[in-house]
């Protein structure tokens, strides 16, 4: 049994940190984990994403072609990855940067929250 999730947004939003924390938490639960970051040369504002795969068995590949979940912290992140999520998967959307109307899937569990606004409080 495994679970894979893509976390994506702008550099500086903590996307890689969120993935790292998720991976660390899974390791504390004695799970097999991979954490695969992807980011541009920009320090802030460029695209950033990471894929975390968590499994009870050894992991064959850190790549998630069709992830179980997506945390979309920006509009480009939602547009790039929402079509790839497995049917029945989880989509978490940061409505501080993404309008909920942009979600085109109706076969997902969807959580919308103003994550950026909440983090500034």
Q: Which fold has domain 2-119?
A: Pyruvate-ferredoxin Oxidoreductase; domain 3 (3.40.920)
Q: What is the pLDDT of residues 71-121, one digit of tens each?
A: 999 999 999 999 999 999 999 999 999 999 999 999 999 999 999 889 876
pTM: predicted TM-score of the whole model, two decimal places: 0.93
Question: For 38-60, what is each residue's pLDDT tens digit?
Answer: 987 766 778 999 999 999 999 99
DSSP 46-100: SEEEEEEEEESS--S-S--SS-SEEEE-SHHHHHHHGGGSPTT-EEEEETTTS-G
């Amino acid at each position: 049994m495994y679970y894979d999730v893509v976390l994506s947004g702008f550099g500086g939003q903590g996307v890689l940190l969120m993935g790292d924390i998720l991976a660390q938490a899974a390791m504390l639960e004695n799970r097999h984990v991979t954490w695969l970051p992807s980011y541009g040369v920009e320090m802030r504002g460029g695209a950033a994403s990471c894929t975390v795969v968590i499994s009870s068995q050894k992991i064959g590949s850190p790549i998630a072609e069709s992830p179980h979940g997506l945390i979309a912290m920006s509009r480009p992140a939602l547009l790039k990855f929402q079509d790839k999520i497995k049917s029945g998967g989880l989509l978490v959307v940061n409505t501080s940067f993404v309008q909920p109307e942009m979600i085109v899937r109706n076969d997902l569990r969807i959580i919308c929250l103003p994550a950026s606004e909440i983090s500034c409080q």
